[in-house]
Amino acid sequence: MSESAIAEVCGAQLAWWENGEGDALVLIHAGVADARMWQGVLPALALTSRVIRYDMRGFGRTRSPPGPFAPARDLAGLLDALGVAQAHVVGASYGGQVALELAATEPGRVASLVLLAPALPDIDPTPELAAFEEAEDQAISEGRIDDAVELNVRMWAGASTRDVRALVAEMQRTAFELQLSEGADVEELEPPVSARLAAIETPATIALGDRDIAGFDLVADRLAAELPHATVQRIAGAGHLLALDQPAAVASLIARHLER
């Protein structure tokens, strides 16, 4: 089964895609991507699961009015619209934080978690990340979107293949254009999810690429220490965007997680 449509959720028009049959498996893209980042893992996962992908606000084909929104609340609303009471949830980078926020605020909705190089809101950035964020902010404030896109490609996919870098550039450019024109603003969760980790009882698998940038290992260590039921695995030959760099290995990791 394959289906796609637009769902009216919390005032936004969320673009979503569905493939396969079985238990629901939701894929949340990274903050430098959109639902297209999952194309490489989709065929294997759809053999045994009802795989749901979507574009968060400010990304891909989703459209949003200006004003505050909560990404985890959007996801819960999308699950309601699709008739999904509970799902296994996979989140990449910032999508991993959104997955954790859903598990913290609506634990009954999340059967398990797979977190691929996940983010947390209150981890101090490394000098490399701080320099990147400053350069990106300056480029955007000066209207140099091409430069901001290139900064992101070098940061998050610098060692990836040419095709991956081209896709990341396309996804990030779309995101910048949408975010600058729509004016939607993320409503921060209070208290933050990092203060709620011990209460997240759902089983979690955390994965890191062995070529990821410094800093995300600290996030993984903290999650492994504070989540009650978490394991950490590494994927060889992957940078920050594991599902783009090593799709077969990521699909296998998710499949093993679901079997457990």
pLDDT (tens digit, 9 = 90+) per residue, 206-229? Answer: 999 999 999 999 999 999 999 999
**Whole-number pLDDT of residue 155:** 97
What confidence score (pLDDT) does residue 1 get?
A: 57
**Which pLDDT belongs to residue 4?**
82
Cα atoms found within 13 Å of the Cα of residue 114, Cβ hemisphere only: 25
The model's pLDDT over 121-146, given as tens digits with 9 standing for 90+, comes to 988 899 999 999 999 999 999 999 99
Q: What is the pTM of this model?
A: 0.97
Distance in angstroms (rounded) separating the CA atoms of residues 246 and 237: 7
Report strand pairing: 204-209 vs 49-54.
Answer: unpaired
116-120-123-126 Cα dihedral, nearest 10 degrees: 40
Question: Side by side, which strands form the sheet with 2-9?
Answer: 2-9, 12-19, 49-54, 23-28, 87-92, 110-116, 204-209, 230-235
Which residues contact residue 132 at a Cβ distance below 8 angstroms, ignoring those fewer than 6 apart?
151, 155
User: How many helices and strands (H and E) does the chain possess?
Assistant: 9, 10
* Cα separations in angstroms, 67 against 76, 173, 182, 192, 193: 19, 21, 9, 20, 22
Count of Cβ atoms closer than 10 Å to residue 131 Cβ: 12
d(CA 174, CA 181): 11
For residue 54, what pLDDT is reported?
98
Q: Which residues of the chain have pLDDT under 70?
A: 1-2
Hey, what are 71's tokens? 């990404």
CA distances from 27 to 147, 195, 202, 211, 253 (A): 29, 24, 17, 22, 14
- Output the pLDDT for position 85: 98
Choices 3.30.70.20, 3.40.50.1820, 3.40.50.800, 1.10.150.130: CATH for 2-120+183-259: 3.40.50.1820
| pLDDT for 3 | 78
What are the extents of the domains in the chain?
2-120+183-259
